[in-house]
Amino acid sequence: MTACPCDSSRRYAQCCGPLHGGTPAPSAEALMRSRYSAYARGDAAYVLETWHASTRPATLALDARTRWLGLDVRRHEVSDADAAQVEFVARYRDGGAPAVRLHELSRFVREDGRWWYVDGDFPSAHTDRQGKGAG
Ligand SMILES: [Zn+2]
């Protein structure tokens, strides 16, 4: 069994795998988890595909030295049927550097029946690498 990067107690094939294969995320939290897993697997295409067109960067280069260490979803707040926020802490390490704690409050919207990552706030500035946008 291959553990899913977003939650080591679940199999990738029964967690984020189907979403990476094209199944729409059933919730903003599921999309957030699948985006984290895409970062962890080096799948930049999926990260871009799930980014809302209004905020999506033209390109995304993932650093192969980055190791994603774990994800802790703190809060999933549905504002209305088509908007939600997910607060999480992700940890990663670049090469031999000390582990970094990325605390993000991500915003998601649902359009055309799919959830999209819009952008995020960083409630505590534990990192200067805010551009990763792991939401
Ligand atoms: Zn997962």
CA of 118 from ligand 1 middle (Å) equals: 20
Q: Please check whether residue 135 lies inside any domain of the structure.
A: no
Q: Please check whether residue 134 lies inside any domain of the structure.
A: no
Sign of CA dihedral 87, 89, 122, 129: negative
What phi and psi, each to the nearest 5 degrees, are found at residue 42? 75, 25
CA of 134 from ligand 1 middle (Å) equals: 13
Q: Report pLDDT for 121.
A: 94
Q: Please check whether residue 21 lies inside any domain of the structure.
A: yes
Q: What is the residue whose two structure tokens read 């605390």?
A: 103
**Cα distance between residue 93 and residue 72, in whole Å:** 16
CA of 36 from ligand 1 middle (Å) equals: 8
CA of 80 from ligand 1 middle (Å) equals: 24
Q: Would you call 29 helix, strand, or coil by DSSP? A: helix
Provide the 8-state DSSP code for 131.
G
Say which residues have a Cβ less than 8 Å from residue 40's Cβ, sequence separation at least 6: 5, 6, 68
pLDDT of residue 36 exceeding 70, the answer is yes
For residues 52-62, average pLDDT: 96
- CATH at residue 52: 3.10.450.50
Model confidence pTM above 0.75: yes
CA of 19 from ligand 1 middle (Å) equals: 9
Structural domain including 69 reads 3-129
CA of 133 from ligand 1 middle (Å) equals: 17
CA of 96 from ligand 1 middle (Å) equals: 26
Q: Are 56 and 48 in contact (CB under 8 A)?
A: yes
Total tally of structural domains belonging to the chain: 1
Say which residues have a Cβ less than 8 Å from residue 54's Cβ, sequence separation at least 6: 118
**Cα distance between residue 69 and residue 59, in whole Å:** 24
Q: Please check whether residue 74 lies inside any domain of the structure.
A: yes
Q: Please check whether residue 94 lies inside any domain of the structure.
A: yes
CA of 74 from ligand 1 middle (Å) equals: 15
Give the model confidence (pLDDT) of 104-131 as tens digits: 999 999 999 999 999 999 987 654 454 4
Give the model confidence (pLDDT) of 69-90 as tens digits: 999 999 999 999 899 999 999 9
Q: Are 15 and 6 in contact (CB under 8 A)?
A: yes
